[in-house]
Amino acid sequence: MIFLLSLGITVLFVLLGDKVLRAHPVPFYIGAAVLALIAASVTWSGVALPTGFAQYVWPILARGGLAGALFVIVMFTGAFPNGSIPIKKLMPIRGQLSIIASILTLGHNAAYGKVYFVRLFTAPASLPFYQMLAAICSVLMLAIMLPLFVTSFQCVRKKMAPKSWKHLQRYAYGFYGLLACHILLLTVPGALQGDTACQLTVLVYGTVFLSYLFCRTSKAAAKQKKSTQLARKQVWAALCCGLASAGVVFCMGTVAQASKVSEPAEDSFAGSLPESSEAGFPQESSGMQTPEKTGSAGYQDGVYVGSAMGMNAKIEVGVTIENGQIVDISIYSARDDEPYFSDALTVIDDILSANSTQVDTVSGATYSSGGILDAVDAALEQASG
């Protein structure tokens, strides 16, 4: 969803602002730099954002949605048939778009690299294996992107020999491949566990990158690179790639469903974060249990369920009350990123020790720990009768 929104914004920007961007690119570069700085500073500070803004708008800026959409436009520019309308529209501003995308990407990496890059180089074992690979892809992408970024400025390009510049630009193919790997590494595990948002992401990005691969190779192999026949082939190939991606996602959904059916029912009551981002408390137990008695702290004994917004989505918790005291807090469902969420779980010990949610959030995991606190508060409201 985030990528589709980002792609829509990017297409609209190209249609309406291509002439202005070509004539006056510097203000756009400055604007992108400001957005990158905001993304990094707000993420580092952990400032609370409104729920709707945090869920739909913020990821476009901070989580690489807009940068990824811009890079998709840039890479497809070289895949369209020569002389086609997209080529005429995009080729004159391809360099400017790549510069803006690179600036936004630097902001994205600054925002999340504070945790992921630091752990990659200091404590790689603290990262799940797929996230460690995704972080490695990010490092390699930066190593490729930075020289491409610098040489995309006209003042730098003019000082280079045309052959040298063209040879350097070929490394962009490696960047696109690493970008695809990075995204899939972060989404395929969730898709295999039944996360519909991850499955949609796999579908969309799978279609995009497979389509680009075919379009680029078909253009390179075509004798008549301006022919309408090439364009038709590319359109049909894109449709086939979409169907292929849909088939893969369907298989992932089947695997996830089979995995859920095979799990013992009592696994849903585990006190730790479930493997599936959608796994949670059984539907028939999602409300407050019948109170048994009222303890000294004013809370009625039983197990109560509450939910609140975390960093990416709602966090659902189960709070166990005995003798009026909070004796256990279990995470029933959450979709926040690691290692933020693992860090945020330390707030549970603070709540249990204080028998209250009047404790500090976890530095570096403000959104996730704040979501846990709010979810526990929601459960305690039920326990208060």
**Digit-coded pLDDT (tens) for 5-40:** 888 999 999 989 889 999 999 999 999 999 999 988
Report all structural domains of the chain as residue ranges with CATH numbers, in order of start.
2-261 (no CATH), 275-383 (3.90.1010.20)
Q: What span, in angstroms and rounded, lies between the C-alpha atoms of 252 and 246? A: 10
**What single DSSP character describes residue 313?**
S
**What confidence score (pLDDT) does residue 335 get?**
67
pLDDT at 267: 39
- pLDDT (tens digit per residue) in 305-351: 988 887 666 788 999 998 888 999 998 877 677 667 778 888 999 99
Q: Please give the pLDDT value at position 67.
A: 92
pTM higher than 0.85 = no
Neighbours of 42 (CB within 10 A): 16
Sheet holding 314-322, edge to edge: 302-309, 314-322, 325-333
Provide the pLDDT for residue 21.
93
How high is the pLDDT of residue 219? Answer: 85
- CB environment 351-360: b (16+ within 10 A), e (fewer): beeeeebebe
For residue 138, the model assigns a pLDDT of 93
Low-confidence ranges of the chain (pLDDT < 70): 46-49, 51, 225, 260-297, 311-313, 335, 338-339, 364, 385
Nearest to 218 by CA among 205, 229, 234: 234
- Both tokens of residue 260? 């859920």
